[in-house]
């Protein structure tokens, strides 16, 4: 036991002697948590620049333009009678949309001749384009309804009857789960999960590869010939530090007022399994590749696209089947699928059984491969040491 504790103590010293590892391990979650939180703190997209070309310049178009100016999502940067040279302007102004009212707009509207409002959307940023499109449609449909009702009232129809005549039925949208459309609530949990997986990968990529490089692995082999023993020695410091780090990350939910239930048993299971799966994958690469740089680079190949492949932002049903299947073996994919069910839908252990089972499979497979590969490395190292002693 004394030998075991001494090895764990040495392991702590080796971890804390690596300034880069410490900066990544403790600094990245805090730095990125605040960074991403503040990026999305506004919670929704506002003030998207639009240009209005009013060729009619009538009282009716003036009212519609006023409605656009009152919409918080849109920012009317300019109103003009002619288009000008939009091609030259776009690199500087980057209008999200250009709205054009034809010269005979009011006259045709009053004559029921259905004039056309042209809306040109800038699709370079699809999120901005979709948000602007929704707000533009809301303004135009509201004004369209108002103009129609006013026309019926001028024909002598009672206001209530005019409203009823225009509306065949009413539509009532009830938004559930992040009803305000808060972007912090949507994005930050997924980003934090991705950050935690990445720093665990990076930290664990160094635990054995560093020993191979500086020769400390020979010292460890001199202490024991058990791969399980060495894996436990390496894992204990991180198993003691990571819960503290996860607790710190969870505080971002309170700080940015994210509405989600994260302090419960299913979430604890998901966090524990993501941690173990990430640790075992990182250690496996660290054992298989006796180079800190190469082990880190290869793990980044997995970690870099993990957030996109998780289906957290872009639905996985839209992926090609091969990519969808590969993504299932990335721990973050299972964690984020389970996270959404527990934090936002109020799910229990039965609702995340598929994700839990997959994470367990990843843990077991990687752990068995670690044991076998490390045992082989121990055997080869001891054999080499004996040969050197014999000479």
Domains of the chain from N-terminus onward = 2-40+182-390 (no CATH), 48-166 (3.40.1710.10)
- Please give the order of strands across the beta sheet that includes 48-54: 74-80, 48-54, 97-101, 118-121
149-153, 161-165, 186-190, 311-315: least confident range: 161-165
More confident residue, 2 or 169: 2
CA distance linking residue 373 with residue 131, whole number of Å: 52
Structure tokens given for 23 = 């900066």
Region of 218 on the Ramachandran plot (φ > 0 left; ψ -120 to 50 alpha; else beta) = alpha
* pLDDT, tens digit (0-9, with 9 covering 90-100), for 47-73: 899 999 999 999 989 999 999 999 988
Res. 391 pLDDT band, cuts 50 70 90? low
Q: Is 258 helix (H, G, I), strand (E, B) or coil?
A: coil
Place of tokens 């229990």: 348
Helices 331-343 and 265-288, axial angle in degrees (round to 10): 170
pLDDT at 158 over 50: yes
Q: Which of 4-8, 102-106, 259-263 shows the lowest per-residue confidence on average (mean pLDDT)?
A: 4-8
pLDDT beyond 50 at 168: no
pLDDT at position 35: 66
The span from the CA of 331 to the CA of 355, in Å, is: 9
Q: Quick one: pLDDT at residue 332?
A: 92
Q: What is the pLDDT at residue 275?
A: 96
Three-state SS annotation for 291-359: CHHHHHHHHHHHHCCHHHHCCCCCCHHHCCHHHHHHHCCCHHHHHHHHHHHHHCCCCCHHHHHHHHHHH
Q: Where are the alpha helices (DSSP H) in the chain?
A: 2-16, 19-22, 28-39, 59-70, 86-93, 105-110, 126-154, 159-166, 183-204, 209-214, 216-223, 227-255, 265-288, 292-303, 306-309, 321-327, 331-343, 353-390
Between helix 183-204 and helix 292-303 the angle, nearest 10°, is 160
Question: How far is Cα 93 from Cα 76, in angstroms, rounded to an integer?
Answer: 12
User: In this structure, are residues 72 and 24 in contact, taking their beta carbons and an 8 Å threshold?
Assistant: no
Higher pLDDT, 32 or 63: 63
Q: Highest mean pLDDT range out of 7-11, 196-200, 259-263?
A: 196-200
Q: What is the pLDDT of residues 300-311, one digit of tens each?
A: 878 878 888 888
Confidence of residue 162 (pLDDT cuts 50, 70, 90): low
Burial label, 339 (beta-carbon count in 10 A; 0-12, 13-18, 19+): buried
pLDDT of residue 169: 43
pLDDT band at 13 (very low <50, low <70, confident <90, very high): confident
Residues contacting 270, CB < 8 A, separation 6+: 335, 338, 339, 342, 352, 355, 356, 359
């Amino acid at each position: 036991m004394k030998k075991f504790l001494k090895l764990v103590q040495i392991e702590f010293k080796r971890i804390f002697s690596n300034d880069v590892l410490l900066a990544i391990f403790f600094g990245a979650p805090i730095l990125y948590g605040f960074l991403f939180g503040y990026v999305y703190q506004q919670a929704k997209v506002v003030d998207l620049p639009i240009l209005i070309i009013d060729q009619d310049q009538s009282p009716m178009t003036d009212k519609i333009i006023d409605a656009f100016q009152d919409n918080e999502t849109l920012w009317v940067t300019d109103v003009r009678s002619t288009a000008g040279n939009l091609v030259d302007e776009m690199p500087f102004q980057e209008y999200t949309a250009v709205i054009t009212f034809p010269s005979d707009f009011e006259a045709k509207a009053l004559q029921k001749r259905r004039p056309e409002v042209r809306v040109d959307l800038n699709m370079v940023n699809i999120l901005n384009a979709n948000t602007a499109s929704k707000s533009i449609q809301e303004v135009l449909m509201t004004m369209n309804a108002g103009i129609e009702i006013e026309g019926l009232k001028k024909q002598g129809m009672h206001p209530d009857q005019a409203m009823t005549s225009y509306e065949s039925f009413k539509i009532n949208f009830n938004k559930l789960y992040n009803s305000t459309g808060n972007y912090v609530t949507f994005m930050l949990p997924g980003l934090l999960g991705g950050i935690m997986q990445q720093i665990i990968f990076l930290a664990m990529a160094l635990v054995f590869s560093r020993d191979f490089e500086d020769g400390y692995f020979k010292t460890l082999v001199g202490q024991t010939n058990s791969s399980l023993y060495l894996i436990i020695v390496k894992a204990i410091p991180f198993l003691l530090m990571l819960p503290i780090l996860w607790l710190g990350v969870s505080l971002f939910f309170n700080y940015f007022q994210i509405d989600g239930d994260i302090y419960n048993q299913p979430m604890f299971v998901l966090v524990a399994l993501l941690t173990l799966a990430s640790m075992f994958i990182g250690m496996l690469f660290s054992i298989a590749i006796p180079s800190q740089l190469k082990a880190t680079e290869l793990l980044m190949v997995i970690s870099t696209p993990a957030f996109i492949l998780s289906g957290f932002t872009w639905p996985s049903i839209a992926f090609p089947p091969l990519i969808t299947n590969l993504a299932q073996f990335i721990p973050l994919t299972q964690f984020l699928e389970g996270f959404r069910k527990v934090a936002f839908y109020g799910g229990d252990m039965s609702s995340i059984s598929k994700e839990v089972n997959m994470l367990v499979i990843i843990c077991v497979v990687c752990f068995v491969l670690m044991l076998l590969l490390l045992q082989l490395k121990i055997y080869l190292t001891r054999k080499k040491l004996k040969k050197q002693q014999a000479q």
